[in-house]
A and B are shown apart, each in its own frame.
Chain A
Amino acid sequence: MEPQSCVNINKEWDIVGARQLGREMAKKLGFGTVDQARIATAVSELARNIYLYADKGQICFEVIDKRERQGLCMTAVDTGPGISDISKVMEDGYTTSGGLGAGLPGVKRLMDEFDIVSEIEKGTRIKTVKWIR
């Protein structure tokens, strides 16, 4: 398995590609069915955010292999407009897509670790990790 692989997000179709890569890596790493589905859903949300708000960006997957535990790290990077009020988009119920439970708070719930850095006019970087239970 490649230690790091990336998928470019330019069009909606790329979301599917990103999901697939995320799921395959999760499967190879030994994640259960439920966690595979959660990881794929998190990828979807991250990729869709890029597609909808930033035009283009990238999602990179990286295997974390430490002695005590193993996991999958996903990093979504875009060069979009950036997020002016991060605490607002992290608020439950605040999703421009209108769906319950979705958006970045959803990604945070689906994964174990979540970190976001954003700069206006420059872009956003979201790093998130899921550990194998």
Chain B
Amino acid sequence: MEEVIDNSAANYKELLKHYLESQDEQALYGVEKVSKSFIKNEILPEEIINLHIQAMGEINPNLKADYKHSMNFLLEAMIFYGLAMQEIPLLKEEKHVLKSEISVAASMQKTLLGTTKPTIEGLDIGIISVPAHQMNGDYHHFIKGKDGSLGIAIADVVGKGIPAALCMSMIKYAMDSYPEESMSPKSILKNLNRVVERNVDPSMFITMCYAHYKPKESKLYLSSAGHEPGYYYHAQSDTFEEIETKGLVLGVSPDTEYAQYELPINKNDMIILLTDGVTECRDGDRFIDSREVLDIIKQYADLPAQQMVEGVYKHFEKLQDFQLRDDFTLLVLRKDV
């Protein structure tokens, strides 16, 4: 540091002298370069003022006392700026630490909330879930019952990022504690609602759709806690129908009861479940409407379910210039047989 000051001191003095004589731009460009090297070497402002005082004293030994005092005054005023500057590298480092901690948390979340897509005979399943930021506020989970049935949860926590992710872990562990097969969608939601209501900040809430598919009956049982409605695709008529479900979001009122719906599923029919990250995609400033989502789904409907959801996601990712605004989750079930 001393060396930098010594080297630059001579340079600074020459430039200053030149400038006092001519006031030309070249000297100013020169001092710009010196100033860059000061910053690079973390020279503090009070040292630069001191350098200036020394240089002026040498250039002109007859400086007025007033001027000299004023420069010392300025030097004094710079001390705190110097202190504040020294904090910057530390703050940068802290930011870096936080950033890497978040990425550790994100990968932990992936492990904790991880679920594998099960194989169910006669059912083709496609699932994609992409977070808008590092942490995902959408959640989906598959539970394969011993009787060959399939439980599916799809949920969205209001808000994004870390609070949402923490909240999701709570839901997941609450669900893990339920005796899987004995529970119907409506009783699962009723239970979760109590857990959320007790444990979550008043402004936070979760929407969830819970579905239970029983292959032997070819029926889907389903309840919704204020979740974005899903769609039923009738293969025979080649039409989509909104699955009308009514139910209050989780976490608002402690004794909410949930209605349960029953859907018979025929060959090649599809069930589409999603989060509002799909239906609230924006095309420029315009929100797309649900019909457009269904049109796109239809375009990819000939593909196997997994390729289908991936194709739909890629379409909307491109539409939004590869900048997701909200977490995006899309799930498709198709009855093969």
Contact = CB atoms under 8 A, between A and B. Distances in A.
* Touching chains A and B, CB distance < 8 Å: yes
Interface of A: 32-34, 37-38, 40-41, 92-93, 99-102, 105-106, 109-110, 133
A45 B91 CA distance: 22
Contacts of A106: 80, 83
A37 B79 CA distance: 7
A84 B53 CA distance: 44
Interface residues of B, number: 18
B50 A33 contact: yes
B84 interface: yes
A34 B84 contact: no
B76 A99 contact: no
B80 A37 contact: no
Contacts of B79: 37-38, 41, 110
Contacts of A33: 50, 53, 72, 75
A101 B80 contact: yes
Contacts of A109: 83, 86
Contacts, number: 47
B318 to A, nearest CB: 42
Which of A33, A34, A92 gathers most chain B CB within 10 Å?
A34
Contacts of B83: 41, 100-102, 106, 109-110
Contact of B87 (A40, A92, A133): A92
Interface centre among B72, B79, B91 (most CB of A within 10 A): B79
A32 B51 CA distance: 12
A5 B53 CA distance: 31
Contacts of B72: 33
B310 interface: no
Given A34-B50, A37-B76, A133-B2, 6 more contacts: A33-B75, A34-B47, A37-B46, A100-B83, A109-B86, A110-B79
B84 A101 contact: yes
A109 B83 CA distance: 7
B65 interface: no
B39 interface: no
Nearest to A110: B83
A17 to B, nearest CB: 17
Contacts of A105: 87
Contacts of A102: 80, 83
